[in-house]
Chain A
Amino acid sequence: MSTALLDIRALRQTFPKADGGELLVLDGVELELNPGQIVGLLGRTGSGKSTLLRAIAGLAPPSAGSITYMGQPVVAPPPGIAMVFQGFALFPWLTVLENVQLGLEALGLPETEIRKRALAAIDLIGLDGYESAYPRELSGGMRQRVGFARALVVHPNILLMDEPFSALDVLTAETLRTDFLELWGDGKLPIKGVVLVTHNIEEAVLMCDRILLFSSNPGRIIREIAVDLRQPRNRLDPQFRDLVEKIYVAMTARTAAPPRVGTVATSIDTILPRVSANLLSGFIETLAAEPYSGKADLPVIAELLHMEADDLFPVSDALQMLRLVEVEGGDIKLTETGKQFVEAGTDDRKKIFQRQLLTYVPLAAHIRRVLQERANHVAPKSRFFDELEDHMSANDAEETLRSVTAWARYAEAFAYDDDSQTFSLENPT
């Protein structure tokens, strides 16, 4: 019998697909949470980290593998695991006090006890004076404090946090993080361990004792990083920066198979990141300009552009896919084609973009080929959607089609008419 709060072995999660097949979301996940630890799950969109969190909470049972909480298998939402949500998930029709009391009411405690504990939690988390306010009267930061109070009031052993700071502005998020770490460090929180889901690399390094890096599609743990820095941590500390850089390298190394010049991917099963052509050109121009002159450190350029890793990676992925940049060892560098693109005028840029798109994005090439083969050069969207759905979830298929449409429009490679939901080669004249 281990002393771990939480023990996850060989966890696998699949979701049913429209065609009856299965979509693999999480695979071979092993995780152990010991008392006194904050474990971070860090990964990009689509890495299944939120799914894992929901499995731990007993909200979505895994397809295979085991989750053991304090020696008991998790089959239903267990007592002693409370969750803080990204979107706060407060009940708008309940006051702050009533929201906090909800979990205690479900426990069936006497009314006086409920009140006492709720007020104590409100006091602890700095919500004094807001008891009778409705959530809509509060700022985002205060709302998330209610979310924390509501979770802590049931005195959980494990606190699950699903990107709790990502819906807040930078300053508010930082205040809330610091407050939380202070309470945690002083042992004032009635919790034994924390699992934090985040896509913010610095946040993970700032808060966690251990960080598990997830790959995407399907989500697998690719690396475990121990953070031995002493609390409170300083973002400017060179050791802190080194860790951040190390994680950037690890996370970009595993993104989309490293492109080798000369080979062309032939399958259309890649999920395309949702990035506008404008953002792509903007990013390239920044990269080409001083002080980078075509080569930059990923964390540095992310900070300058105020982009979080989750905003930055889709851009670098898309550019890498189009062979306009290369990413290696945490650095991003313009390719020869990328340089040509920067120097070209509007029309030539479109030409370069079209060439790259049709050469290196199999889906774009596929759509274009189908349109050329058809006598009237028109094809319904559903045709491609169904094809994509064999490889990915309906949501991803929709997003991927939107991305390729947006890029193709910029490149003038083919057109799309939303009224009739058809692709065509004709551009309106």
Chain B
Amino acid sequence: MRLNVPISVGGWGRFFTRWDVLAVLLILALLVFLAEASRHLLQPLAELQRQPVSLDPANLPDYAARTTLRMLIAMALSLLFTFTYATLAAKNKRAERLLVPLLDILQSVPILGFISITVVFFMALAPGRVLGAEFAAIFAIFTSQAWNMAFSFYQSLRTVPTELVEVSRNFRLSPWMSFWRVDVPFAMPQLIWNMMMSMSGSWFFVVASEAISVGNTTITLPGVGSYIALAIEHRNLAAVGYAIVTMLIVILIYDQLLFRPLVAWADRFRFEQESGVLAPHSWVLDVMRRSRLVDRLTRPFASLLRRLLLARRSKSAAPVKREPRNQHGWITFQWAAIVTALAAVALWQVARFVTQDIAVSDVTTALLLGLATLSRIVVLIALATVIWVPIGVWVGTRPHVAERVQPVAQFLAAFPANLLFPIAVSAIVAYKLNPNIWLSPLMILGTQWYILFNVVAGAAAIPAELRAVGANLRVRGWLWWRRIALPAVFPYYVTGAITASGGSWNASIVAEVASWGNEHLEAYGLGAYIAKQTEAGDFHRIVLGIAVMSLFVVLINRTFWRPLYLYAERKFRLG
């Protein structure tokens, strides 16, 4: 299955609408607000007790379980967010205009930069401090999972076939019932795919969010992430190895017990049945479906669920309103008033913040650093393209190879690449390499796989007839690549590259600074800037860094990726 694009690709319209501007403003104001609040809250937390984390490998199963639990809780929250936020955006025209740009900008905010701010905030809110830290970690994971899920759900809701909507209205299904019987099932395959993506992505953040220092507050939650942090501090390569093995096992279990069954189960919700595509299989699901015991155990739940879904049936169908045309003046006015008020408050927050503590030189520095990181990402994406596109096409055009490579590539994308950083860093230290160059590949270590498995999927989707024509006309060599292979995989490549580029920005925050024991390496870039300010507890500059990075991401998405994606869709989409 192909991924949906992780950015808003609504249309050819202008690069920025006023709703985008408002969304940017609101998010900036929120950041400023959190930062301001956190600054005052920081002091009393300084003496927080550190949870003792031990490097004994015997603790790893426990740590892994805790880490996994955090992710599951965050996933549940993300689903809740998805079902509410995306539904509101899809069903309410007025809300949609603000909620969609808001989501699009939120997706571009580097989560890793965000963690430091939210950690302090949540710890101050929660009565018990450990609980607060847990909240913060879960929130950080939530922010890495929720946006793309909500986005996919919103897009699915908008594309429910008209006839199905009409059926549900003709048979007078209540909104509650048609949500669960029509909307959710229709969105299910894409949603599950995005849940998998989110899960993969959040491994990366879980590792970063369990052990974090803000100013002189150090928060350590027992988990794989803090285990790794400790291992790095102690320069214990063996412990790093144990952690990596643990993660491999955890991800494998996750994949086999949770996602593979889910994907196989969700196959029935696919609306179009492409022929010739094998239905996904899961041994776990087969076992569960065939087992009488499971059937007996789940039957009461199924019945309960059924009753719940049918519970709120309406007595009479709601009258259908015609498109209102200036007759709801009062509501429009209220809505406008709320939006204006929000905008004003946000503007005031941001303006005060900017005039108070940020000098022009700070902004220039951040922008220059941003350019440095940008050039790194451009080079890396280009390199990954040159390496993975030919390999992806080669693999994709050979079904028996693709069958084996595809799961591996997806697995590699799920593997938190930051676990491998210590190994790379120790090598850089040992050989005294230039960090400005050699730290860079770490940024794309985890994200390059999106390019690979999208290209593989694209190459596998080239119709047999087109390949036969190529062979028949003896199109070979460079001509074959130029006229057949590259155009066919282009839309897929763009989707993968968008994901890879977005992920790399985020990764720069952990990849541009690295340490191994007391050796500290630092590259010149915006990621390093944010990391350093976090360590120093300078909230104003953290916000500045995040804002500048978001700006870069949004600008590149709007001016480069979105047009490229639309072009690819129009020109190269097969069928």
Interface residues of A (CB under 8 A from B): 16, 54, 57-61, 63, 75-79, 81-83, 85-87, 89, 91-93, 102-103, 105-108, 134, 136, 150, 154, 419
Contact = CB atoms under 8 A, between A and B. Distances in A.
B166 A83 contact: yes
Contact of A106 (B161, B177, B319): B177
B318 interface: yes
A59 B170 contact: yes
Contacts of A419: 571
Contact of B166 (A79, A89, A91, A103): A89
Contacts of A102: 167, 171, 173, 181
A-B pairs, top 8 by smallest CB distance, nearest first, are A89-B163, A103-B171, A76-B317, A76-B319, A75-B319, A93-B269, A93-B185, A106-B173
B343 interface: no
Chain A interface helix/strand/loop/mixed: loop
Contacts of B167: 83, 85, 89, 91, 102
Contact of A77 (B268, B317, B322, B323): B317
Contact of A105 (B185, B269, B310, B322): B310
Interface residues of B, number: 33
Contacts of B316: 76
A61 B318 CA distance: 12
A60 B268 contact: no
A319 B56 CA distance: 86
20 contacts: A57-B166, A58-B320, A59-B170, A61-B319, A61-B320, A75-B320, A76-B319, A81-B170, A85-B167, A89-B167, A92-B273, A93-B185, A102-B171, A102-B181, A106-B171, A106-B174, A106-B177, A134-B268, A136-B273, A419-B571
A64 to B, nearest CB: 11
B526 to A, nearest CB: 36
Given A86-B163, A105-B177, 6 more contacts: A61-B319, A61-B322, A83-B167, A89-B166, A91-B164, A105-B310
B289 interface: no
B320 to A, nearest CB: 5
Contacts of B319: 61, 75-76
Interface centre among B170, B188, B321, B325 (most CB of A within 10 A): B170
A417 to B, nearest CB: 12
Contacts of B182: 91
A102 B271 CA distance: 18
A85 B166 contact: yes
Contacts of B318: 76
Chain B interface helix/strand/loop/mixed: loop
B573 interface: no
Interface string B148-163: 0000000000000101
Interface of B: 161, 163-164, 166-167, 169-174, 177, 181-182, 185, 188, 268-271, 273, 310, 313, 316-323, 325, 571
Given A106-B313, A108-B310, A79 B164 contact: no
Nearest to A57: B170
Given A82-B170, A106-B173, A134-B268, A89 B320 contact: no
A59 B317 contact: no
Contacts of B317: 58, 76-78
A325 to B, nearest CB: 36
Given A61-B320, A108-B310, A134-B268, A91 B171 contact: no
Nearest to B189: A93
Given A87-B163, A92-B268, A108-B310, A154 B171 contact: yes
Contacts of B268: 92-93, 134
Given A102-B171, A102-B181, A106-B171, A54 B166 contact: yes
A377 to B, nearest CB: 25
A82 B171 contact: yes
Contacts of B323: 16
Given A61-B322, A108-B310, A79 B571 contact: no
B323 to A, nearest CB: 6
Contacts of B325: 16
B110 to A, nearest CB: 36
B170 A76 contact: no
A81 B161 CA distance: 21
Contacts of A87: 163
B290 to A, nearest CB: 16
A92 B169 contact: no
A358 B570 CA distance: 31
A151 to B, nearest CB: 8
B313 A108 contact: yes
